[in-house]
Amino acid sequence: MSKLKRGGVVRRSGPFFAVLCTLAVVSAACGSSSTGSGSTGTTNGTGTTSASGGAFTLAKPLKIVGFWEIKGESTVAIDDFQNAATLALDDVNKKGGVGGKPVELVRVANPVLDPQKAVAAYLKALDANPGVIIGGGGSTNAISQQVARGGVALVSPDTNANVEFGAKQGSDNMWLFSGGQAEGWKAATRYAVEDLGLKKLGFMGYTIPFGSVARTAVKEQATASGATIVADEEMPLPAQDLTQQILAMRGANMIFDASYQNDNALQLRQTKQNNVAVPSMFQGGLTIAVNQKLVTGDVLNNAYAFADCDPLSADPAMTAFRDSYKTAHGSNPSYLAAITYDLVHFVAEVAKTAQSSDPGKMNSAIPNTHYDGICQKDYHADGAHLILHHPQILKFSSDGSWKSVKVYNEPDKNKGAS
């Protein structure tokens, strides 16, 4: 049994202070030369110039534990996290690392479909003595107690309202490198009703928090927007056959589906097979399903998703990242790959803000760290420990591409109520 670290956790309040970093090209990690107050300065052979302008050298290298699976370790495992993190780590270390030392990345598999194994795996991640742990998507509920007691920040791309700061399973050490899950589903519902004029909505989703939070948010926003939920169906995880759920959607003019990428693809295929010719709205996992060719062809013309990032954006920095990713791995990046790339750069910037690789100091530095990435400008943590604030709607096409059709600017949230 791992020994949980305790202490060194500081409850924070007050204003955030900007530590601005411009990502000029994808190969330039946050640490490239810039001018003006708040710049991160220049990394050199002896140390790193911090936001405050003083050079520092880390006593020990920043060690990051990547807490995710790779393909083959479970039925929902993907390589996107590892692929993107490796590219980002190369970028950071080519620019001199942090504090004069190369950043280290160690991966511990996160058994996302088995909560008990996820807990044991997280204790193993703590045993690696990292300065910060990143990942944990899909497991943040299961490991929340270990995160709270572990003394190490977990910065996760998970979208889980239950672990926001102030929520029942949130803590000082839990940070979400994502937007609010409920806010994203509400934005998607608003788009369906207000922009597409669709007012008879069907919902299908898992009974785990990934589905239940979505279910509540869609229902609340539908009522507020004057729409009606005409069907609400639960889905098994993973699903083998969704015929029953799809046939229940025949009275709807849009289906909202809160499931993972494999079941996104299954739903689209079976919707076509059952002649239910209505559009569907998913979360960003559909970009993974499309990249993996789990679903192809004209059925995608009726597909939408909301995500925190558009990896097919024409932004120059995103284009450079996408080209590098495709060269290295043979496919376009999913939204999770792009977010993970930014996440590695962000935690490197946190160490510069803290001028330390100590986990307690890094955790305390997160609310004072701002970073300009490829997915979003001005990454910063709000009072609910959410770090992304711009959900957007993606519209898919039969050729496997998609485009962003609307971006929502969500205000910073305050700490929630327990």
Q: What is the pLDDT of residues 306-343, one digit of tens each?
A: 999 999 999 999 999 999 999 999 988 989 999 999 99
| Per-residue pLDDT, 199 | 97
- 124 and 213: one domain? no
CB 110 within 8 A of CB 121: yes
| Predicted confidence (pLDDT) at residue 3 exceeds the cutoff of 70 | no
* 135 & 162 share domain: yes
Average confidence (pLDDT) over 17-28: 32
Task: Please report the pLDDT score of residue 400 as a whole number.
Answer: 93
> How many domains are contained in the chain?
2
Q: Which whole number is the average pLDDT over 255-283?
A: 96
Q: What is the structure's pLDDT at 145?
A: 97
Same domain, 362 and 399: no
244 and 342 share one domain: no
Q: Which residues contact 214 (CB under 8 A, 6 or more apart)?
A: 181, 182, 185, 203, 205, 256, 258, 283
252 domain-assigned: yes
Give yes or no: residues 270 and 403 share one domain: yes
pLDDT value of position 209: 84
User: With bands split at pLDDT 50, 70 and 90, how would you rate the model's confidence at 55?
Assistant: confident
Q: Is residue 151 included in any domain, yes or no? A: yes
**Across 283-297, average pLDDT:** 92
Q: What is the pTM of this model?
A: 0.80
Tens-place pLDDT, residues 180-222? 888 999 999 999 999 999 999 999 999 988 899 999 999 999 9
- pLDDT (0 to 100) of residue 417: 58
Mean pLDDT, the chain, whole residue set:
87
Mean pLDDT of 48-76: 85
**91 is in which domain, residue-wise?**
48-179+314-387
Does position 17 have pLDDT exceeding 60, yes or no? no
Q: Quick one: pLDDT band at residue 128, thresholds 50, 70, 90?
A: very high
Give yes or no: residues 301 and 211 share one domain.
yes
Residues 82 and 64 in one domain: yes
358 is a domain residue: yes
3-state secondary structure the chain: CCCCCCCCCCCCCCCCCCCECCCCCCCCCCCCCCCCCCECCCECCCCEECCCCCEECCCCCCEEEEECCCCCCCCCCCCHHHHHHHHHHHHHHHCCCECCECCEEEEECCCCCCHHHHHHHHHHHHHCCCCEEEECCCCHHHHHHHHHHHCCCEEECCCCHHHCCCCCCCCCCEEECCCCHHHHHHHHHHHHHHHCCCCEEEEEEECCHHHHHHHHHHHHHHHHHCCEEEEEEEECCCCCCCHHHHHCCCCCCEEEEECCHHHHHHHHHHHHHCCCCCCEEEECHHHHHHHCCCCCCHHHHHEEEEECCCCCCCCHHHHHHHHHHHHHHCCCCCHHHHHHHHHHHHHHHHHHHHCCCCHHHHHHHHHHCCECCCCCCCECCCCCCECCCCCEEEEECCCCCEEEEEECCCCCCCCCCC
Average pLDDT over residues 217-244: 96
Are 200 and 54 in the same domain? Answer: no
Q: Determine, yes or no, domain membership for 43.
A: no
Q: What's the Cα-to-Cα distance from 213 to each of 109, 209, 233, 257, 320, rounded to whole Å?
A: 26, 6, 14, 12, 35
Q: Is residue 416 part of a domain?
A: no
pLDDT of residue 46: 47
- 124, with CB counted inside 10 A (0-12, 13-18, 19+), is middle
Would 39 be classed as within a structural domain?
A: no
CATH number at residue 79: 3.40.50.2300
Residues 272 and 325 placed together within one structural domain of the fold:
no
- Residue 344 is assigned to a structural domain of this protein: yes
pLDDT, average across residues 134-146: 94
Residue 54's pLDDT is 61
Residue 162, domain member (yes or no): yes
Q: If pLDDT is split at 50, 70 and 90, which confidence band does 51 have? A: low
Same domain, 150 and 162: yes
Bridge-based pairing of strands 280-283 and 104-108 is unpaired
132-135/154-156 β-pairing: parallel
The confidence score (pLDDT) of residue 47 equals 65
**Residue 35: which pLDDT band, with cuts at 50, 70 and 90?**
very low
Q: In one letter, which amino acid is 5?
A: K
The gap between the terminal CA atoms of the chain, to the nearest Å, is 29
Task: List the structure tokens of 233.
Answer: 């169906």
Most confident among 53-57, 73-77, 397-401 (mean pLDDT):
397-401
Whether residues 218 and 288 share a domain: the answer is: yes
Same domain as 214, residue 175: no
